[in-house]
Chain A
Amino acid sequence: MAPSDNERKRLDLNRREFIGGTAATALMGSAALALPGCHGGRGPVTGAPGAQTGAPLERFGLTDALAREVMARALQSGGDFCDLFFQSSRINYLGVQDHAVNRAYSKAEIGLGVRVVRGVETGYAFTESLDRASMLQAAEVAAAVANGAARKVPTAFAVSARPRYYPHDQRWKGVSTKRKVAMLQELDKVTSARDKRVSKVNITYRDEEHFITVLDAEGRVFTDYQPMTVCYLKCVAEQKGRREANYAALAGRAGFEFYNQERLSRIVRESVDRTLVLFDAVEGPVGDMPVVLGPGSSGILLHEAIGHGMEADFARSKTTIFTDKIGKKVAEPFVTIADDGTLPGRRGSIHADDEGNPSQRTVLVENGILRSFMHDRISASHFKIAPTGNGRRESFRHIPLPRMRNTYMLAGPHSPEEIIRSVKKGVYAEHFSNGQVQIGAGDYSFYVKNGTLIEDGKLTRPIKDVNIIGNGPESLARATMVGKDFALDEGGWTCGKGGQRVPVGLGMPTVKISSITVGGTKKG
């Protein structure tokens, strides 16, 4: 959910105090909602191959020669690979409480991460000052992972081509606070006016711009402007002394025009209606039963049940339940699942990953057969295949790891109505807030904020919040019906792994899981 002031503060404190190792498993952090989106086309490919690095480094006040000197220091003891990840970021927050845009937060940072790789070993250091001495010191620290003869630095860097997946009329820096405030005031007004029972409206809005430049020991340089925006709309309503709250979110790797009338109306409708329906909610059922997942944000099932398990660092160490399953049947023939970084404007879309490898659409499951893991450079080199563009990092403070982008299941042969009709007694789940997975055991769960009982093939009564828990390979095999109604979600999903958070997207048609555990309170 949208972090409150206190929560945000706590997060920052944690980061300062406990920076370093953690043994936590992968965990979905933030929140989201559903939306029938469409599978967009691709933009033209642009870029200037062969150009010198002057321009990509100019923003950081650096020269090509200085970057080469830093890389030479990083490679002073050899190593198979090295990259320099420069980043400059600006994040702005605005918050609405009690019908006023009455709080603002912002964050500015700049930094360089130096990585030296030898086999599967990584030396890493970062600096927040881009002066020569600090950068050389970081390089010196990263270099310590290797212990051989110095490796040569490329004599020139070739700029990699860059597609266009981030629609924006202008950069965020050019959008005035005044325009954002006006939009948020209107959003608050419309939300409050939608129903008399709405007693509190909270909006947390954020826009981000990140400039990155990655130079590597193979003489490649990739540079990018990465916009991002998220808006959480939380609503509290009261009826006959009872209180309910729920929310809706919007997120895109896009510019300010992302917030068009259609989207804004949608989150108002979703936030209010999802809250009011809870006044009629009954206790959720307990135990194994069929669950029908509505289109869109139920893609969280894929993220947890199969996505994390298909990240190749876990395959390399043989610690995922999917380790030996490539080429094997894992689902019905009408099940195809992809992880795709190339969808314009989507939260998980990237022009290239944070190692400079081109983004792509990676098919994980094709007609029920497991096809490919998601790779970063280290895992791809271990398995002797090409990287899939999944090497992502939270920022210059972190090493890249295999991470998801937008993960979705393609449309199948069934109509949503016949799927619901096929269930005698079960749950229809349509709005989710978070999930978690045990990658090795394959057990996973996701939390349902809005669900409805299915009785004799019909949607009947709404249920209260409930967690659903299952096993990844088991649930995939039990996806017995897949709808024609594919939808991508536009919520603000954030995925956590190894202490790093990255934005991701989700999508799915209506899907029936023939049996899974529903963790409600009402038995019978």
Chain B
Amino acid sequence: MQEQQKGLSRLAELACEHAKKKGAQNAAASGALSRSFKLKLRDGKKEEVKASTSRSLTLRLFVDGRYGSHTTSILDDKALLAFIDDAIEMTRMLSPDPHRGLAEAKLYAERPTGDLHLFDPAQSQVTMDQRYQRALAAHDAARAAAGDKLLSVQAGVFDSSSLRILRTTNGFSDAERSTAFGQWAMVSVRDKSERRPSDWQQNMSRSLAQLGAPEDTGKGAAARALGSIGADRLPSQKLPLLVENRAVSRLLNGLLAPLYGSALDQRSSCFEKSAGKQVASPLLSLTDDPALTAGWRSRRFDDEGISAKKRAIVEKGILKSFFLDTYYARKLKQAPTSGGPSNLVFAHGDKTLEALVQSLDKAILVTSFLGGNSNSTTGDFSHGIQGFFIEKGKRAKPIAAMNIASNHMRFWRDLQAVGNDPYLYSSKRTPSLLFAPMMVAGV
């Protein structure tokens, strides 16, 4: 990796120099390199075994007040220089945009210096046979757990090692390495009707040692699939909504979309005038934490080079900050934060998902969403749901093909409880959430 980093850094330097020589006043070059493996079993056969190496260089160009961003994976010197020539020519055809520019150099300062625990050297030692044994363990455990209901089982593992570098013509230069390991299983089962429901589980980690037993992944997937047998729809009615941790991100994305600079600047944000105001229940506190240990989007610097800084997005229900890169911050006359979320961490409650289930008399537990969308301009959203009807603190029966709809400006005010179970396999560390009764569409 050391040598590859040198190679990529040299190309980034060459690209920036060439861009300036050809008339760019400023440029930023970001390089990415990853080596990945994946192995997938289905019903005992190796359905896919794959290995790959990817490299690319993205050059952001500022030419005579004009802006473009150009990516190539054809990285021999001659092809790269010709690509930059074309890119500069293309940029000159555009209208000038006075708000474009590199991030201010002072924002590069004070990058976290500690180890974020994103890289595990063990990745380079993993053999294909180890990958196979791990996938097989997940596969066999899922098969055994599904028993005679099983139709088909898939299980897989993946791991990768990545490097990102960034160089700008106003003095930034740094690199960051990371690894990822994962295992998953997906189980399809027979139902009494014609339905062939399936469900999955995926576990991931930054270091191999923390990946956990593949058997648990397989068993988890089987238990979920078996649990959905016999799912049906209920009549439309108002019920409290409990959303399992791993499903919450679909709702959260709808809350986040109006907080981006592009939405604010282009009048497509229902939260445009909500800064400093109550937008959610005081139970909702949401922090963006780029320096989170072993986080899925942990980074010491963002895509522009801006240093990682922990900040509140929502604090006790009050909207504290937006996602602003240098460009949109300038357009909106605000200070840049960062163009998008890194890791999102919730303030937790004290109950497990099971305790929350037990606390409910009649409710819906959502275990996954099916389609739907959210309108960032109006805040309206509507999503299909699957999960369970809860009665007297128990999962009384599985439900499917029902739907919920509301508006993000209202919905989060109805948050009534936050679980203590952050989902660790996504950069959005969502706990399970309980919302006040809402209309659930069904028969």
Binding site for B on A (CB under 8 A): 4-6, 9-10, 12-13, 16-23, 25, 27-28, 92, 94, 97, 100-111, 119-129, 141, 144-145, 176-178, 181, 199-200, 202, 236, 238, 243-245, 284, 286-288, 304, 317-321, 323, 397, 399, 433-447, 464-467, 469-471, 473, 517-521, 523
Contact = CB atoms under 8 A, between A and B. Distances in A.
B403 A517 contact: yes
Contacts of B83: 108
Interface in B219-240: 221, 228, 231, 233, 235-236
Contact of A119 (B45, B91, B402): B45
Contact of A464 (B54, B75, B194, B380): B380
Contacts of B46: 121-122, 145
Contacts of A465: 373, 375, 378, 380-382
Q: Which 6 A-B pairs have the closest CB atoms?
A: A519-B403, A20-B158, A445-B371, A436-B371, A23-B200, A100-B95
B188 A446 contact: no
B400 A443 contact: yes
Contacts of A25: 198
A520 B441 contact: yes
B301 interface: no
Contacts of B412: none
Contact of A124 (B50, B158, B370, B378): B50
Given A6-B261, A16-B34, A127-B52, 11 more contacts: A19-B54, A20-B36, A21-B202, A103-B97, A121-B48, A124-B48, A319-B151, A433-B373, A440-B195, A469-B370, A521-B405
Contact of A122 (B48, B178, B196, B441): B48
B392 interface: no
Nearest to B91: A104
Contacts of B97: 100, 102-103
A4 B256 CA distance: 14
Nearest to A111: B73
A16 B186 CA distance: 23
A104 B94 contact: yes
A518 B441 CA distance: 7
A466 B52 contact: no
A167 B357 CA distance: 58
A517 B188 contact: no
27 contacts: A13-B297, A13-B303, A19-B160, A23-B202, A100-B95, A102-B97, A102-B100, A104-B91, A105-B69, A107-B70, A121-B47, A122-B48, A122-B49, A129-B75, A141-B51, A287-B442, A304-B371, A443-B401, A444-B370, A445-B403, A467-B373, A469-B403, A517-B401, A517-B403, A519-B383, A521-B405, A521-B439
Given A121-B45, A287-B442, A19 B372 contact: no
B94 A103 contact: yes
Contact of B68 (A103, A111, A120, A287): A103
Given A122-B47, A399-B50, A523 B340 contact: no
Contacts of B191: 441
A304 B370 CA distance: 11
Interface string B148-170: 00011010111110101000000
B37 interface: yes
A199 B267 contact: yes
A286 B441 contact: yes
Nearest to B46: A121
Contacts of A13: 297, 303
Contacts of A28: 371
Contacts of A124: 48-51
A445 B384 contact: yes
B128 interface: yes
B176 to A, nearest CB: 11
Of A97, A245, A442, A443, which is in contact with the most chain B CB atoms at under 10 Å from its CB?
Answer: A443
Given A18-B180, A245-B375, A517-B233, A108 B73 contact: yes
A436 B370 contact: yes
Contacts of A109: 56, 72-74
B339 interface: yes
B2 interface: no
B209 interface: no
A23 B54 contact: no
A106 B90 contact: yes
A469 B402 contact: yes
B406 interface: yes
B346 interface: no
Contact of A22 (B100, B184, B233, B296): B184
Contact of B268 (A105, A236, A320): A236
A155 B376 CA distance: 59
B405 A107 contact: no
A519 B440 CA distance: 8
Nearest to A447: B373
B384 A443 contact: yes
Given A6-B323, A105-B70, A16 B195 contact: no
Contacts of A128: 53-55, 73-75
A466 B384 CA distance: 10
B372 A467 contact: yes
Contact of B402 (A125, A177, A517): A517
B42 interface: yes
Contacts of B210: none
A472 to B, nearest CB: 10
Nearest to B60: A105
B195 A321 contact: yes
A119 B46 CA distance: 10
Of B46, B128, B201, B377, which is in contact with the most chain A CB atoms at under 10 Å from its CB?
Answer: B377
Contacts of B104: none
Contact of A6 (B42, B262, B384, B405): B262
A304 B384 CA distance: 14
Contacts of B202: 21-23
Contact of B158 (A9, A21, A521): A21
